[in-house]
Structure 1
Amino acid sequence: MFRFGVALVASLLGIAITLSLVVRSQGQQPLLLPEESKHLSQLRQLTFEGTNAEAYWSPDGEWLVFQSTRPPYKADQIFVMRADGSWVRVVSTGKGRCTCAYFTPDGEGVIFATTHLAGPEPPQVPKLDIPRYVWGVFPSYEIYLRRLDTMELIRLTDNEGYDAEATICWKTGRIVFTSYRNGDLDLYSMKLDGSDLKRLTKTLGYEGGAFYSPDGKRIVFRAYLPKTSEEVDEYKRLLQLGVISPPTMELFVMDADGRNMKQITKLGGINFCPAWFPDGKRIIFSSNHHDPKNFDLFVINADGTGLKRITYHPAPDLFPHFSPDGKWLVWCSGRNAEQPRQLNVFRAAWRD
């Protein structure tokens, strides 16, 4: 949730995954490196086909929801599977492009963004002469709720601009998401039925990939807030084309109502996909601040102190998310990839 789509990840991480494939072909790197075993053990690969991203736990810790581009689908669709990687099934419509899924508090449904109403073909990012990664904030994205027991599909947003990157506070039932309305990409919250819409951020720039703390009192998110006139002009120009291309992103924390926003990283590079520890005091995230060619997982306190590196693999590590009991960490990685730009879902026991 940042919450990148699979297409964006492929663009952003091409160099890093290529490096990981070279290392793997030489047989020099195990799945779990010795320096990673301080916090991780019992590593298990859960997916083996397609390109997979944004795997998130169910409230009971028994299931995972994730997005994947795999045959016969042309773009990301939403899947669920058991926490051991079994019983994989698609729960989106199979049409358009999907992103950013998350379980409801009762575990009987998932929310996600999809473009399927605009047509069966997935929208494409326009070709632009930009040296950085670019991803589409397609106006056809709307947020839906899929009931897993009845397979009823319920529309939650109805907006001419982008609506996506949604997660839910399991304690309060509120959804936080990124939306293009009121002239910018901001964070909003709403009830689980789509009512009681509230705007949370108003600073010019992109805010996204938000997660509620376990108690529902705070939100962590990533942001690119352009400062110079040149940065502002480029951001607005690209936004009119339906894309964004942040040169940097940092992490922020704020109260659930949008007050007391505080920047907690000033690392440079791209810092994204933050998620809370179950204790609500720390945040795990992915960053390339230490190496522009690769992403690793890091931990930081919610006040911005205590930065600690978790992974060291030459393959990219992204989208970390803790099981509700804090015993397991799931994330997506290019380690053991069978083809260029492939990501798979991995699970490991967490050692604190």
Structure 2
Amino acid sequence: MGFARAPRRKRHPRHRRRNQQSRKRPGQIDDKRSQMHQSRTQWYYTRRIFASVLCILALSACGNTPPDITGPAPGEPGAEAIPGGPGQIAYLKQNLQTGSFHLHIVDPDGKNPINLNPIDDLAEYTGQSWSSDGKQLAFASNRSGNANFNIFVMNTDGSNIRSVVEDSGGDFASSWSPDGQKILFQAWRSDETTWDIYVVNINGSDERVLINTDMEEQLPVWSPDGTKFAYQAGHRGRGTDIYIANADGTGAMRLTDGNGTLHAAPAWSPDGTQIAFESNRHQPPSTDTRTPLAQYEIYVMNRDGSNMRRLTSSQPLEALRKPTWSPDGKQIAFEFHTYATDLLPGFSTIKVMNIDGSNTYSIPGLPPGAIFPRWSPVP
């Protein structure tokens, strides 16, 4: 999700690793608006869900099918349970009036829904994360009035919006540090050709690059104790894997071996001992994350990559993505998609299940098209 693949570009030589220090950014490049318009669509692949026909792309032969994963039998996503759980869930939903994606909050049982953005707001909102006290949200938006997405924060009632990062290029996928002092995010600067991982103080000072390689590094998320972060990374068109690194960007370690498949959208358990993620590793390898043949399921593993197990077992033309843990560690919310065909329209919503994959339910009352759930860290 992670993001879908970035727009194709010429192969760029391996980047030189930079010193981890603040840098002043160059100005906007003329063609960057076009690049960012394309990259913005990576967050919103579900627009394809509402198309009348989904174009199914051919799979590439990237090697053998990944080995079976040991662990408990997958749960039954179709078996509906009684809604409920602690805290709140922030999610995205396309505004049918403007076509923009807006931020919403709802209780896990579907009660107390809130739209955080004005109904006539033309700006896009995405990549939200909660502050550790549950009182604020960080997010990415192009609300500044240009094609660039930057990082902002606001109160959970939609008030007091303020900028944290304003830069050329694009900034996405924020993650608020447990101590409330920093925001981790992915960025594509005007002088870059891949996504990299950055950190910045909550007041916008001391912005630094933490991970900068020739791979696409995306969707960073802090560990609950703030000593590490997880992220997805991979070479374009060759799959992605889950990595963890120290808080300063050192000691990066790969936890999965994708063999051409995709492991993406890592999410830490509240106690920091496990990581949930989405993967199509049970399918033949695919280089296109948006094809129905790349069917996604939710997996969990220990923080060192051991004891990997598949939690879900969806049906053909379904995909389960973007897991997020409840604050008590007993449930996982995720995106549920059915892809469009010639005969049936597509659909997306948010579902919740127990951490063993059982007792799955759809959050009641959500409008069609809800995506990217993020559970609050406190009840």
Answer whether TM exceeds 0.5 for this pair.
Answer: yes
- The residue aligned with 1:40 is 110
Contact 1:161-1:181 at 8 Å conserved across structures: yes
SS of corresponding position for 1:60: coil
- The residue aligned with 2:331 is 282
Q: How much has 1:111 moved relative to structure 2?
A: 0.6
Say which of 220, 233, 242 aligns to 1:166.
220
2:307 matches 1:260: yes
Q: How many residues align?
A: 287
Contact 1:112-1:144 at 8 Å conserved across structures: yes
Structure-2 separation of matches of 1:60 and 1:105: 9
Q: Name the amino acid aligned to 2:328.
A: D
- Identify, as 1 or 2, the structure richer in helix: 1
- How do 1:249-328 and structure 2 match up within 5 A? 249-268=296-315, 269-289=318-338, 293-326=346-379
Moved over 6 A (4+): 17-22
Contact 1:16-1:314 at 8 Å conserved across structures: no
Structure-2 separation of matches of 1:190 and 1:21: 37
SS of corresponding position for 1:100: strand
Q: How much has 1:323 moved relative to structure 2?
A: 2.0
Gaps of 5+ in 2: 5-38, 53-92, 99-103
2:275 matches 1:212: no
Q: How much has 1:203 moved relative to structure 2?
A: 2.6
Deviation sequence 1:118-166 (CA, Å, 0-9, x none): 26xxxxxxxxxxxxxxxxxxx5211000112361101101201101111
Structure-2 separation of matches of 1:20 and 1:144: 28
- How do 1:143-222 and structure 2 match up within 5 A? 143-149=197-203, 151-180=205-234, 184-204=239-259, 205-222=261-278
Contact 2:338-2:346 at 8 Å conserved across structures: no
- The residue aligned with 2:180 is 107
Q: How much has 1:38 moved relative to structure 2?
A: 8.3
Task: Decide whether aligned partners of structure 1 residues 17 and 214 sit closer, same or farther in structure 2, where only a CA change above 3 A counts.
Answer: farther
Deviates more, 1:206-215 or 1:95-104: 95-104
2:142 matches 1:69: yes
Deviation sequence 1:166-207 (CA, Å, 0-9, x none): 111122521000112696411100111101211100132111
Say which of 171, 177, 183 aligns to 1:98.
171
Deviation sequence 1:298-344 (CA, Å, 0-9, x none): 11111111111114444311222222222xxxxxxxxxxxxxxxxxx
- The residue aligned with 1:80 is 153
Contact 1:288-1:296 at 8 Å conserved across structures: yes
Structure-1 separation of matches of 2:222 and 2:48: 31
Contact 1:176-1:187 at 8 Å conserved across structures: yes
Deviation sequence 1:86-122 (CA, Å, 0-9, x none): 1212322331122211001211110101111526xxx
- The residue aligned with 1:329 is none
Structure-2 separation of matches of 1:83 and 1:37: 13
Task: Decide whether aligned partners of structure 1 residues 226 and 277 sit closer, same or farther in structure 2, where only a CA change above 3 A counts.
Answer: closer
Task: Decide whether aligned partners of structure 1 residues 9 and 223 sit closer, same or farther in structure 2, where only a CA change above 3 A counts.
Answer: same
SS of corresponding position for 1:8: coil
Task: Decide whether aligned partners of structure 1 residues 97 and 217 sit closer, same or farther in structure 2, where only a CA change above 3 A counts.
Answer: same
Q: Name the amino acid aligned to 1:217.
A: T
Structure-1 separation of matches of 2:211 and 2:95: 40
Structure-1 separation of matches of 2:267 and 2:183: 15
Deviates more, 1:77-86 or 1:90-99: 90-99
SS of corresponding position for 1:201: coil
RMSD over aligned Cα atoms: 3.1
Q: How much has 1:6 moved relative to structure 2?
A: 4.7
Say which of 41, 46, 64 aligns to 1:12.
46
SS of corresponding position for 1:260: coil
Contact 1:80-1:90 at 8 Å conserved across structures: yes
- The residue aligned with 2:34 is none
Q: Name the amino acid aligned to 2:280.
A: Y
Structure-2 separation of matches of 1:159 and 1:37: 39
Contact 2:219-2:265 at 8 Å conserved across structures: yes
Q: How much has 1:8 moved relative to structure 2?
A: 2.7
Contact 1:13-1:294 at 8 Å conserved across structures: no
SS of corresponding position for 1:12: helix
Structure-2 separation of matches of 1:149 and 1:53: 20
SS of corresponding position for 1:66: strand
Structure-2 separation of matches of 1:94 and 1:143: 15
Structure-2 separation of matches of 1:11 and 1:249: 14
Say which of 280, 287, 299 aligns to 1:224.
280
Identity %: 24
Q: Name the amino acid aligned to 1:323.
A: S
Task: Decide whether aligned partners of structure 1 residues 115 and 38 sit closer, same or farther in structure 2, where only a CA change above 3 A counts.
Answer: closer
Structure-1 separation of matches of 2:376 and 2:197: 24
Task: Decide whether aligned partners of structure 1 residues 77 and 246 sit closer, same or farther in structure 2, where only a CA change above 3 A counts.
Answer: farther
Structure-2 separation of matches of 1:90 and 1:252: 35
